[in-house]
Each structure stands twice: as structure tokens, then as C-alpha cells.
Chain A
Amino acid sequence: MIDFAFFLEIIPVLLAGLPLTLQLTAASMGIGFLMALLLALAQQGNRRIVVWPIRAFVAVFRGTPLLVQIFLIYYGLGQFRPSLQAIGIWWLFREPYWCAIVALSLNEAAYGSEILRGAIKAVPRGLTEAATASGMSKLLTLRLIVLPLALRQAIPNYSNEIILMVKGTSLASIITLMEVTGIAQGLISQTYRAVEVFVAAGAIYLTLNFTIISALNALEIRLTPYRARA
């Protein structure tokens, strides 16, 4: 039996966690994307001394659970408090909020750098050759030719990444951050109505994901008008 009054009661409570979910997603996607771009560009030179450490970083962050990474950063680094205080970055590892953002950003940097590396590789060789032939410098070619095409190419993969990130932020609830999933867990243990709370919280996540996917689809169509017309 569906109790609408109960839904009306819990939805605002759950929505109070949405700003935190959005903040964690946006901050981690933003920082992670910038790091991913740097990692992908750094690998373009094919220098072993640069490429190998990056490959190792990517393999470690993609090959271990996000929960372990969060615990390692939040609880594990807490053990080195005196050293962290000495170099003045203890504030970053003291707060669960920043620890969650650090862990999610590093995770995203690892996944994103692989997407961007592939997207940069997919830019046709002829285009960069043409840029060189018309006298463009390497930096100018990167800015005007390679990056615009590569970033457009990466949109579908990146929309998957954002969905994974939205879902990933739920793990922040385990280190005490009350985002949507954290509030949902609290509600379940208070009200003993797991199904209703799941439906309400699930609806919030699905709406959020659907909005993100639609926005990125619209962006992709806008950036590839020739394909939309065909």
C-alpha cells in the first residue's frame, strides 16, 4: 500500500541533502577533469619517465574500490597528523568534506585521463598536420584544433562519468557527510520503511541523472550540427 502522505513528508527531508550531493559532484568533476586533462596531455610526449608513473597512478585508482581510497585518505592519513600539520595541509585532511572531494577527484582524474587520452588520439592526424603546415605553433594547434575536437568527442563518455560520480558521492555518507544517501539511511533506521525511502531517494537520483544526460546530449547535438541534420 502506498502512503502518499509519508512520501510528501520525506521528500523535502531527502532534498535537503541534494545541495551537498551536487557540491561534491561538481567540485570533484571540476578538479578531476583539470587533473585528467593535465595527465592526458603529459602522456602525449611518450616519455617513459612521465608516462609510467601516470600509468601506475591510473591503474591503482581504477583497480581499487573507491571506499578503500576514501578510508585511506580520511582515516589513513590522519595517522600522519604532525607531519601534515608541519607542512600546513592538515586542514585539508581533517575535514571529511575535503577528504571526500580529494578521493573523488583523484578517482575521476584516473578514469577521465583515459577517456581524454583516447579522445586526443582520435583527432585525425591530417588536421594537426594541416595546422603545422599553416604555421601554427604546437600550443596554438592544441588550443584551436586538438582540444575542441577531443573534448567534443569525449562528451558521451563523460556523461557516463558524471553519472558514476553522482553515484560515487553516496560513499561520502560513510565518512559522516549527510548527503542524500546518508539522510536516506538515517530515515530508514528511524521510520523502518525501507521501500518508501528507497523509492523517494532513488527518484531524486534518477531525476538528477536524467537531467545531466539530457543536458549533455543537447550540448553534443549543438556541437555537432552536421550530424544532427543528417
Chain B
Amino acid sequence: MTNMHILGLEEGGWGAALLLASGVTLALSVLGFILGAAFGAAAAAGRLSSRGVPAWLAHVYGTVFRGVPDLLTIYLLYYGGSIALTQIGKFFGSAGFVGLPTFATGVLAIGIISGAYQGEVYRGAYQAVDRGQFDACKALGLSRSQSLRLIIVPLLMRHALPGLGNVWQLVLKDSALISVIGLVELMRQAQIGAGSTREPFIFYIAAAALYFVIAAVTASVFRYGEARAWRGMVHA
């Protein structure tokens, strides 16, 4: 079998499996990024709040998960969660190790890690919104939630999008680490293919190429979003 046949889409080729695994990588990254947006928004709200406890908690969250290796966070969630689950299993009479579902754990891990980064992005973007807009909201008699939803968040997204694009690239690359807990995403599928054909070089080159293509295509989505967010504005 020649190298190109190994990656073929027909029977006996690994092409279809790799493409399917790319889909898993994309789904994992997108869901993790969305969950991270929720964590990030909460963290930014905490950092911006004038009360001490939420501000402190948000600060600790951001510092810890941006400063500790992502691999360590993934181990904490997977093993920590599985150990707790095993204890519960024992209580109900099951013997042996109960593993957490790997996809859900992966989404949670990426959500927690990217939330720490997204929090910083949202905080900076909020502070970049012109103060006059807040005054205008008050002058129009908008409630706090109305002004956030209708005025501030849409304006804030203009400033947040470039930073979010960077976080997204980080998320996509981090998703490869979820392979260590056994989820068959692109990286894991490449490992499986490399192991059973003894052709690691071609499989890791293929995986690198697929990651590169996903990164390039999704980056253009962010560029489009940015152009759209700034439409009608003249800026240097």
C-alpha cells in the first residue's frame, strides 16, 4: 500500500476516519468555546464589579487557569471527576473504575481554560466602550439589562472580536490535548492510524494539515465578523 492510499477515502483508507475525527475536533472546540464565553462573561463581570469577593474570585480564576499548564487542568477534571464518580458507583455496588464521558469532559476543560482567557478579552473590550454611550443609555431611560443587551454588548463585541479570534486559535490547538483522556478526535485518530499502519510520519503530517486548514478557514469567519461589526464606521 502506498502512502497516498493510506489516507484515501475508499475502503481500507484512513481518510474518512480522519475527516470524521476533524468533525469531532471542530464540535469539541466550538462547544468548549461557547461554554468558555459564558465563563468568560461571568469572570469579566466579576473583575469589573466594585464588590470585593466577586472581583477576587474572578481574579483567582483567571490567574490559575492561565498560569497552570492546560494538561494539568485536563487531568484534574478527568481524574478528579472519574474518582468522584467511582466513589458514587461503589456506593451503588458497582466495582472498578468509572470514567467520565470524554467528550463532555473535553468541552468542560476547554470551557474552563478558554473562559479564563475570554474573561480578559471581555473586560478590556468593556473598558474600551465610550463612556458617553453609558450616559446616553441613562438619558434614554434604559434599564441596566436593556442598556447592556441593546447598546453595550453589541458595541463591546467590536473591540472583543480580534482578541476572541486569538482565543479561538488557542482553543483549536488545545483541543488536541483532549486526546490524552482517550477521546477520538483528530489527534487521537492520527495516533490510532499511525499505530496500526506503522506510518506515523504521514498520519501526523495529515493531522497537522487538517488542523492548519481548520484554523485558516475559521480565522476568516472571525475576519468577516470583525468587518461586519465595524461596518459604517470609519477607523484608522
Contact = CB atoms under 8 A, between A and B. Distances in A.
Interface of A: 59-60, 63-69, 71-72, 75-80, 163, 166-171, 173-174, 181, 184-185, 188-189, 192-195, 198, 201-202, 205-206, 209-210
B72 A194 contact: no
Interface in B52-106: 63-64, 67-73, 75-76, 79-80, 83
Nearest to A60: B212
Contacts of A205: 67-69, 72
Contacts of B215: 63-64
User: Chain A contact residues: over half helix, strand or loop, or mixed?
Assistant: helix
A100 to B, nearest CB: 13
A188 B68 contact: no
Contacts of B83: 192-194
A163 B205 CA distance: 27
B125 interface: no
Interface stretch (B10-18, B131-139, B194-202): B194-202
B41 to A, nearest CB: 23
B177 interface: yes
Given A185-B75, A194-B79, A194-B80, A167 B211 contact: no
Of A76, A174, A201, most B-chain CB atoms within 10 Å: A76
A64 B201 contact: no
Contact of B75 (A66, A69, A72, A194): A194
A79 B199 contact: yes
Contact of A206 (B68, B177, B190): B68
Contacts of A72: 200-201, 204-205, 208
B150 interface: no
Interchain residue pairs A-B with the least CB separation, the first 7: A170-B69, A194-B80, A65-B176, A76-B201, A198-B76, A75-B200, A72-B204
Given A68-B187, A170-B69, A76 B200 contact: yes
A202 B208 contact: no
Interface in B165-195: 169, 172-177, 179-180, 187, 190-191, 194
Contacts of A80: 201
11 contacts: A59-B212, A64-B173, A68-B176, A68-B204, A72-B201, A170-B69, A184-B75, A185-B75, A201-B72, A205-B67, A206-B63
B227 interface: no
B201 to A, nearest CB: 4
B177 A67 contact: yes
Contact of A65 (B79, B180, B191, B211): B211
A194 B176 contact: no
B207 interface: yes
B72 A68 contact: no
B91 to A, nearest CB: 16
B200 A63 contact: no
B29 to A, nearest CB: 11
A75 B190 CA distance: 12
A63 B199 contact: no
Contacts of B76: 194-195, 198
A93 to B, nearest CB: 12
B236 to A, nearest CB: 17
B69 A181 contact: yes
Nearest to B87: A192
B216 interface: yes
A189 to B, nearest CB: 7
Interface in B20-73: 63-64, 67-73
A67 B190 CA distance: 12
Nearest to A80: B201
A173 B71 CA distance: 10
A66 B173 CA distance: 7
A188 B75 contact: yes
Contacts of A192: 79, 83
A102 B69 CA distance: 20
Nearest to B212: A63
A205 B72 CA distance: 10
Of B71, B173, B176, B211, most A-chain CB atoms within 10 Å: B71
Given A67-B176, A68-B211, A170 B204 contact: no
